[in-house]
Structure 1
């Protein structure tokens, strides 16, 4: 999470949406950079609302805004699958080594997800709170130029990005049956992504 007091902006760090590269590029310009523990670095809206918003509204501005990036759901799950395929996770409950992408997505569609498929939800990450706290600026991961333009204008700086924390490259294929199941069981994830213009 990056907090820019002068720009009155908080960049929420949705996992697997390229935010590590932005954190590296922008942390020198941030008033606060929350990088650890992961529960705070990747604080979703509900956690931001509870722990950060009251402090920032009191000491920075009652008009502080939030920003987050959302990735196309199949691509987002593919990134998680590849990330958890790394050799050092082999033999651990969170490893996807030795399983197909189909098997990973099938497990994600379960009500009670096994550890390797328990990767959260983009919908839950950005879910508005009863008090009105929400993400003010949502960007598609696929719209990097729009995100960069917004940040450069808002922060008044030129941003140079490097690729970081990239999941290993590997071919992914999802059978039509499993994709249909994912789209049915997790329809809100697709609706969220499609709602972002």
Structure 2
């Protein structure tokens, strides 16, 4: 999570949406860069609302805008699947080694997710809070030109984005049955992504 005080902007780090590249490029310009622990670096709206918003309100900054980037849900799951194929996760419960992408997505779309498919939800990440705290600037990961143009204009910087955390290649094929199950059971994620600009 990056906080830009004078521009009144908070950039939430939605996992698997290129947040590490933006963090690397923008952290030197940020008033606050929350890099660790992962639970705070990747703070969803509810955690931002609980830990950070009250502090900003006390500093007379109630008009902070919250920005987030969402990735097309199947592509987002593909990134998680490929990330969890990495050798350092071998033999751990979260590893997807020796598992097809279809099996991974089928498990994700089920009610009781095993450890390897327990990767959260983008829709839940940006879910508004009862007090009105919500993402006000929502971008599609696939629209990098718009993200970059917005940040350069808002922050007055020129961005050179590095490629980071690139996962190994893997086959990302779904059966019609599994894709239909995902779209049915995780409709909120597809709807959230569709709302993004």
TM over 0.5: yes
Q: Would you say the 8 A contact 2:8–2:61 is kept in 1? A: yes
CA displacement at 1:171 relative to structure 2: 2.3
* Counterpart-to-counterpart distance in 2, 1:194 and 1:17: 15
**Alpha-carbon RMSD:** 0.8
> Is the partner of 2:28 in helix, strand or coil?
helix
Q: Which string of whole-angstrom CA distances, capped at 9 and with x for unpartnered residues, describes residues 45-69 of structure 1?
A: 0000000011112225111111000
| Equivalent residues of 2:121, 2:189 under 8 A apart | yes
CA offsets, 1:9-39, max 9 Å, x none?
Answer: 0000000000000000000000110000000
Q: Is the 8 A contact 2:8 2:63 kept in 1?
A: yes
Could you say what secondary structure the match of 1:80 adopts?
Answer: helix
Partner of 1:185: 185
* Runs (4+) off by over 6 Å: none
Unaligned ranges ≥5, structure 2 = none
Correspondence for 1:15: 15
* TM-score, normalised relative to structure 1: 0.98
- Structure 2 Cα separation of the partners of residues 90 and 73 of structure 1: 25
TM-score normalized by the length of structure 2: 0.98
How far apart are residue 112 of structure 1 and its match?
1.4
> Is it true that 1:4 corresponds to 2:4 in the alignment?
yes
Number of residue-to-residue matches in the alignment: 197
1:156 aligns with 2:156: yes
CA distance in 2, matches of 1:60, 1:103: 49
